Amino acid sequence: MIDIQYSSEVRAAKEAGQPIVALESTIITHGMPHPQNIEVAAQVEQDIRDAGAVPATMAVLNGKLHVGLESEQLQELGRAQGVAKISRADMAACMSGGGTGATTVAATMIAARFAGIEVFATGGIGGVHQGAETTFDISADLHELAQTSVTVVAAGAKAILDLAKTLEVLETLGVPVIAFGQDEFPAFWSAKSPLAAPLRMDSTEEIAKAHAMRRALGIPGGQLVANPIPDADQIPAKELAPIIAAAQADADAHRITGKGVTPYLLQRIFEQTEGRSLTANIALVRNNARLAARIATALSAHDAQVCPIVPMPGTA
């Protein structure tokens, strides 16, 4: 009943039991301007291959759920205008209606779980927006993390969000938030924030083992791995704060709501930093892709040890 299409690369990886890393497509259609979006999408896929895993970029194309895109499909999606941004609420309607949509973190997690992929790399997750106490704007990504068992590697939450409230909601929802290699929760364009992360891990093996333990315990929901942006690529939080505040005021003045908010803010910040926000964004996504590939590899190795795949008679 579900029309699902694996890319040739992902199909082969599944058959061979190779580690696979899921990637979202909203970052391509709504998160970065053309033509960098296509270059970055291809580069991030290559980073995953270079780190020994296989990339699976998710999207819904003409009603079909694609797990992994062929290169032409990725380019077409990156060029297309007016592609829908789909999350948990509208993914099924998009598929049943034969539509085309780019997957957010939430929708990518649903697709990944469905395809049996347990590790996913992105830039930043959605979270609790500033002023959420009046707008109630809280990303469906947080609720997805609470119920879909995929480990998501992100550079923390975007500094356009209220990071303290985002961490509170993640705590309420029972989502483990693991800072990689530091105590602080990273703030997307900056490696550090004043907030302590609830958990810290320093190796990919630890992260893979914690993921496997949650699975063994039958705890639904994923882990958020917060991977700090490399030092050299940071934009100081002090420098960004007024730009973010102006972008937020602008969004309020234009009465931007719902799923329009995040793309609007990202675009304004891109303009106001003369593209520096994009350069940093690219660096952190690539950094996350490399870490996710290592986690997926560690998870495969861990699973092979716990339940070794016994070769079929006559094939060894």
* Burial letters 190-229, b for 16+ CB under 10 A, else e: bbbbebebbbbbeebbbbbbbbbebeeeeeebbbbbbbbb
In this structure, the number of other CB atoms found within 10 A of the CB of residue 163 comes to 22
Task: Based on the shown chain and the rule CB under 6 A, indicate whether residue 27 belongs to the binding site for ligand PSU.
Answer: yes
Phi, psi of 40 (to 5 degrees): -65, -45
In the range 253-272, which residues lie near ligand PSU by CB under 6 A?
A: 259, 262, 266
CA distances from 93 to 83, 87, 257 (A): 14, 10, 21
- Is 24 one of the catalytic residues? yes
Closest separation in Å from C-beta 95 to ligand PSU: 18
Site string for Mn ion, 79-118 (x = CB under 5 A): ----------------------------------------
Identify whether the C-beta of residue 222 lies closer than 8 Å to the C-beta of residue 268. Answer: no
The option from Mn ion, ligand PSU, none interacting with 105 (CB < 5 to 8 A, set by class) reads ligand PSU
- Select the residue whose beta carbon is closest to Mn ion and give its number: 137
β-bridge pairing 151-154 and 84-86: unpaired
Positive or negative CA dihedral for 168, 171, 177, 183?
positive
Task: Based on the shown chain and the rule CB under 6 A, indicate whether residue 123 belongs to the binding site for ligand PSU.
Answer: yes
DSSP, collapsed to helix, strand or coil, labels residue 116 as coil
- Is 206 one of the catalytic residues? no
Task: Based on the shown chain and the rule CB under 6 A, indicate whether residue 31 belongs to the binding site for ligand PSU.
Answer: yes
Q: Quick one: the chain helix, strand, coil %, rounded to 5?
A: 50, 15, 35
Closest separation in Å from C-beta 206 to ligand PSU: 25
Task: Based on the shown chain and the rule CB under 6 A, indicate whether residue 126 belongs to the binding site for ligand PSU.
Answer: yes
Closest separation in Å from C-beta 252 to Mn ion: 14
- Which listed residue (9, 24, 144, 184) is catalytic? 24
Tell which one of 137, 162, 184, 233 touches Mn ion (CB under 5 A): 137
Task: Based on the shown chain and the rule CB under 5 A, indicate whether residue 162 belongs to the binding site for Mn ion.
Answer: no
Site size with ligand PSU, rule: CB under 6 A: 18
Which stretches of 21-151 are DSSP H helices? 26, 36-50, 71-79, 91-96, 105-115, 132-135, 140-147
- Which listed residue (144, 158, 184, 259) is catalytic? 158
DSSP, collapsed to helix, strand or coil, labels residue 245 as helix
Catalytic residues: 24, 158
Residues that bind ligand PSU (CB under 6 A): 24, 26-27, 30-31, 104-105, 122-124, 126, 139-141, 259, 262, 266, 281
Residues that bind Mn ion (CB under 5 A): 137
